[in-house]
Amino acid sequence: MAFELNLFKTQQIASRTDRPRSPFIVLLFSLLFVLSTAYLLYVPQPRVIKDQSLSAGDIADEDIIIKKAVTVEDKDATVANRDRAINNVVPVYEHLTENQSKSRTLIQQFLQLTREIKKEYIKNKKPKKDLLEFQKRIEQDFGLEFSTTELNTILNSDFFAKVDLNELLTFIKEMYDKKILTSLTGARRSTVGTIKLISKTSEPVNLVLDELYDLKKAKTAMTAFIDNLKFKTPSPNFAASVIMEFIDVNVSYSMNLTRDEESQAASSVNPVVIKLKAGKALLRKGDEVKPKDIKIMKLVAAADETLGQRVSAFWFILLILCFLTLFGGKFFKKWGAGSINKEKLLVVTGATITTSVLIYRASLFLYPLIMNNLSSEISINYEAYSIFFAIPFGFGVLTIAFVFNLQSAVIFSFINSIMGAVICDWDFNVFLYILLGNLAVSYGIEHYQRLKRSPIIKAAFLWLLPTNVAVITIIHFTNSDFNLLMLSVNIMMGVFGAVVSPIFANFLIPVWEIIFQLVTELKLVELTNLNLPIFREMLEKAPGTYHHSLMVASLSEAAAQDMGKSPLLQRAMALYHDIGKIDGPHFFTENHTIYQNPHPNLAPRESAKNIISHIPDGIERANKMKLPPLVMSSISQHHGSKLMHYFYNKAREMSSVDSDGIDENIYKYPGERPKNIENAIIMLADQVEAASKSLASPTEEEIKNVIRKIIDANIKESQFDECEELTFKALNIIANSFHKKLSSIYHMRISYPGFNFKEGETKTGKTGIEGA
């Protein structure tokens, strides 16, 4: 039975269902629900104890009872324990083992040079006052500057000429074994005077600092050693000074390693907690108030004050819920709008989440290293959220929002917030920070659309950055220990995270486009630019096909808009569906205004072959142009497997044998039948546009009949059997869209007043258009 389309009924249904519902009722009920929930969650709690203004030594005039169980932290005791743990840390020093061998080599070279120079001066009987060559070599080889007087002293000293090198080096080794540092005065040590020495070649050891040498103490020992050798030397102290020029420290204090030890010691200290059960009496009437009682009451009062501050937190949560409610209407309004790449949503989302987690972890590893090396005080305060706020939490949602749609971005925002909060030590404030920033970015991309790369930067700077700053500010104002310096630091970190996010997103989006063969709206804008060489060539060689493609694109866009599909994708598919005709434009009817029709001189089989060839030719061109597979599919599917009835029937009429023996497959298009609504729309638009040109002066009814018959014929030939999404409802929407578009193109105009086009004169007898 033929399929009948009820155009007027469908238009009435569409007009009723398309009428936007008022969002005010939904918004009102949502706000009431939010306020009720927030009040139940944050209703002011009864105070644990009544306000007391007692001091140590006073007498309690009534019983002070704990109204409900409470657990409070003695922050002063906790800080004291942590300070004690830090003070007990043994300072860490590094053992520079390479300096010992370096000193040994330099001393050997210096003594050898000294003895060679002395022999040369004696052999050649040079005056010792002429020491320029000696002075120059010492400066070049060792970087030392001695005066001529000092050089004469070295050459005249028996120590430098006769000292046993092995004996000297053995003594120096003993000093290095005991360890040498720059100065014992002011050197950091533990409370018991020890240090922790870390070496690359051995296990860490604890040493008593005062048992080590410093450079001053080492020089004194070297002077005594030289003096005991009883060599003829003007001054053992001078000789020791010369040797000490080649001795460097082999123990150096490490500030970073010591800080790490202090951080570990502080983090290992558990908070000091005081648990008070409900009904416990802190003081009885008549008891003397002791300092310990005052301390506990202050701690409980501070806990009460923190509970009171939940009113501030209430406004924070209220702001978040209002934010979600205000955008909820837009979220659900666009829920039906499908994404071009919806089949690849899960795999791209998974890859983006994995990449996000890796970058978050890398940030947590790198940021402390960078901040610990800063010379400012900021580097020691990164525990107070600074690092968390600097992580680029927005780049993933920028990617998903740009490639897919609003709903996908919002869902990703919640997943991303949970993942980010888990990585950041399960911090709820960080969860809210990520969530609100991600939601702002999602709506920012939707607001600016996806037709250029600039919306990514605009969404980051105009939506993400202000949201980050606002959330960080609110988080700080809802905390009792408000600190303006830390607020400024955290805001700078939040700005940094917002600035870095679009950089990562702009790098990631092209990578995903290549790896997952995604089709973004920006890519479609580029593909539908009519100034591209492919369209210039089509306009030059096949102007009829060019105009036909534009008309199909116009019809397809309108249908896609009504179906909630992507008009840009539909336009791209329509513009490229007939590019195979460029190489043989004279075979197609729409180009016969400039080309002679070759078909009367061809056999039906040859005509069919030439016409069918535009399918493989188009696919070949599309592959060379590297068109996205979704756009390319319109080339192979826009004719489906339809039979070319005209040439088939002509072949049967011309056949001298039994017409039933003609192979139908020769006259069938070799393409695939439409597998999605987009290709079904292209197929119908292609046929409707061509058929509408056969109408000389089409009326409303004629246009309806053309659309109805074409849809009916395609259903009879089973062209839509593989398109699961295409329902009768969808066909009605497509038919009405075509009808409205064609009616606007072929609209009837009344005769122009006062002008007879057949006679070429106006009623007044003058040619021309009156009033034009």
Residue 66 CB burial class (10 angstroms; 0-12, 13-18, ≥19): middle
pLDDT at 337 over 50: no
**Which of the 8 DSSP states describes residue 628?**
-
Which amino acid is it at 353?
Answer: I
- Check pLDDT > 70 for residue 125: no
Residue 207: is its pLDDT beyond 80?
yes
CATH topology of domain 339-518: Arp2/3 complex 21 kDa subunit ARPC3 (1.10.1760)
* Coil/strand/helix, residue 64: strand
Sign of the torsion angle spanned by Cα atoms 325, 326, 332, 337:
negative
Looking at residues 610-616, what average pLDDT do you find?
A: 90
Q: In which residue ranges of the chain is CATH 1.10.3210 found?
A: 524-745
User: Mean pLDDT over residues 25-53, rounded?
Assistant: 51
Instruction: Answer yes or no: is pLDDT of 554 > 80.
Output: yes
With a CB cutoff of 8 Å and minimum separation 6, the contacts of 397 are 409, 412, 413, 416, 438, 441, 442
239, 233 Cβ separation under 8 angstroms: yes
The β-bridge partners of 85 are: none
Is the CA virtual torsion 685, 689, 692, 694 positive or negative?
Answer: negative
First to last CA, the chain: 53
Token pair listed for 532: 């591209």
- With beta carbons less than 8 A apart as the criterion, state whether 614 and 639 touch: no
> Average pLDDT over the chain, rounded to whole?
78
Q: b/e string for 635-645 if b means 16 or more Cβ within 10 A?
A: bbbbbbebebe
Which of helix, strand or coil describes residue 317?
helix
What is the second-level CATH architecture of the domain 524-745?
A: Orthogonal Bundle (1.10)
Contacts of 171 (CB under 8 A, 6+ apart): 222, 225
pLDDT in tens, 649-678: 888 888 755 555 677 888 888 878 998 888
pLDDT of residue 681: 92
Q: Which phi and psi angles does 188 have, rounded to 5°?
A: -70, 140
With helix as H, strand as E and coil as C, how does 373-416 read?
A: CCCCHHHHCCCCCHHHHHCCCCHHHHHHHHHCCHHHHHHHHHHH
Q: DSSP assignment, residue 186?
A: T
What is the pLDDT at residue 303?
61
Q: With cut-offs at 50, 70 and 90, classify the pLDDT of residue 130.
A: low
The distance of Cα 336 from the centroid of its chain, to the nearest Å, equals 27
Looking at the DSSP assignment, which residues form a beta bridge with residue 75?
none
Cα–Cα nearest to 317, from 431, 481, 468: 431
Give 66's contacts (C-beta < 8 A, 6+ positions apart). Answer: 48, 49, 276, 277, 278, 279, 280, 281, 282, 300
* Amino acid letter, residue 182: T
Answer yes or no: are the C-beta atoms of 735 and 743 closer than 8 Å.
no
Q: What is the CA radius of gyration of the chain?
A: 44
Q: Which residues contact 663 (CB under 8 A, 6 or more apart)?
A: none
At 142, which amino acid appears?
F
pLDDT at 536: 92
Lowest mean pLDDT among 72-81, 184-193, 236-245: 72-81
- Six token digits for residue 763: 């009623």
Segment 432-442 mean pLDDT = 87
Cα–Cα distance, 644 to 610 (Å, whole number): 12
- Asked which of 53-62, 208-217, 308-317, 429-438 is least confident by mean pLDDT, the reply is 308-317
What confidence score (pLDDT) does residue 374 get? 57
Structure-token pair, residue 286: 């008549």
Please indicate whether residue 354 or residue 763 has the higher confidence score (pLDDT).
354
pLDDT tens profile 77-100: 888 888 999 999 999 999 988 888
- Give, in order, the Cα–Cα distances in Å from 633 to each of 636, 678, 689: 6, 10, 20
Q: Are 84 and 262 in contact (CB under 8 A)?
A: no
Confidence band of 163 (pLDDT split at 50, 70, 90): confident
Give 68's DSSP letter: S
Which of the four pLDDT bands, split at 50, 70 and 90, describes residue 384?
A: very low
Cα 498 to chain centroid, rounded: 10
Number of C-beta neighbours around residue 272 at 10 A: 16
Query: Is pLDDT larger for residue 192 or for residue 51?
Result: 192
Q: Between β-strands 281-283 and 92-95, what pairing exists: parallel, antiparallel or unpaired?
A: unpaired
Enter the tokens of residue 766. Answer: 């003058």
pLDDT tier at 305, thresholds 50, 70, 90: low
Contacts of 603 (CB under 8 A, 6+ apart): 651, 654
- Reported as a pLDDT band with limits 50, 70 and 90, residue 41 is very low
Q: Which among 772, 696, 694, 691 is positioned nearest to 738, based on CA atoms?
A: 691
Task: Please name every residue paired with 166 in a beta bridge, in sequence order, or none if there are none.
Answer: none
Local structure of 275: helix, strand or coil:
strand
Per the structure block, which two tokens stand in for 103?
């000193």
* Residue that has been written with the tokens 């920012």 in this structure: 444
d(CA 625, CA 537): 14
Give phi and psi for 249, each to the nearest 5.
-70, 150
Pairing state of beta strands 194-198 and 92-95?
A: parallel
Q: How far is 207 from 196, CA to CA, in rounded Å?
A: 6
How many CB atoms within 10 Å of residue 132? 10
Q: Which pLDDT belongs to residue 310?
A: 44
Query: What pLDDT shows up at residue 466?
Result: 86
CB contact burial 67-102 (16+ within 10 A = b; e otherwise): eeebebebeeeeeebbeebbeebbbbbebbeebbee
User: How many angstroms separate the CA atoms of 455 and 447, rounded?
Assistant: 9
The residue that leads in pLDDT, 429 or 303, is 429
Give the DSSP per-residue string, 103-126: HHHHHHHHHHHHHHHHHHHHHTT-
Buried b or exposed e, range 600-622, using 16+ CB within 10 angstroms: eeeebbebbebbbbbbebbbebb
Least confident of 93-107, 320-334, 446-460: 320-334
pLDDT computed for residue 479 by the predictor: 65
Q: What is the mean pLDDT of residues 1-16?
A: 42
User: Quick one: pLDDT at residue 755?
Assistant: 47
**Span 241-248, average pLDDT:** 88
Tell me the two tokens of residue 482.
């408000």
- Most confident of the ranges 289-303, 327-341, 528-542: 528-542
What is the longest distance spanned by two Cα atoms in the chain? 142
In whole angstroms, give the CA distance from residue 145 to residue 128. 17
- Helix 465-477 vs helix 484-516: angle between axes, to the nearest 10 degrees? 140
Residue 166, token pair as written in the block = 């092995």
How far is residue 461's CA from residue 197's CA, in Å, rounded to a whole number?
A: 50
- Percent of the chain residues topping a pLDDT of 90: 10
What was the pLDDT predicted at 93? 94
Q: Take residue 589 and report the two structure tokens written for it.
A: 């009817």
- The single-letter code of the amino acid at 267 is S
Specify the domain boundaries for CATH 1.10.1760 within the chain: 339-518
For Cα atoms 407, 413, 415, give the angle at the middle one, nearest 5 degrees. 110
Mean pLDDT across 116-122: 77
Query: To which H or E segment does residue 357 belong?
Result: helix 345-372
- Once rounded to an integer, what is the mean pLDDT over residues 323-349? 63
Calculate what percentage of the chain has a pLDDT beyond 70.
Answer: 77
Residue-wise pLDDT for 466-489, tens only, equals: 888 888 888 777 665 566 778 888
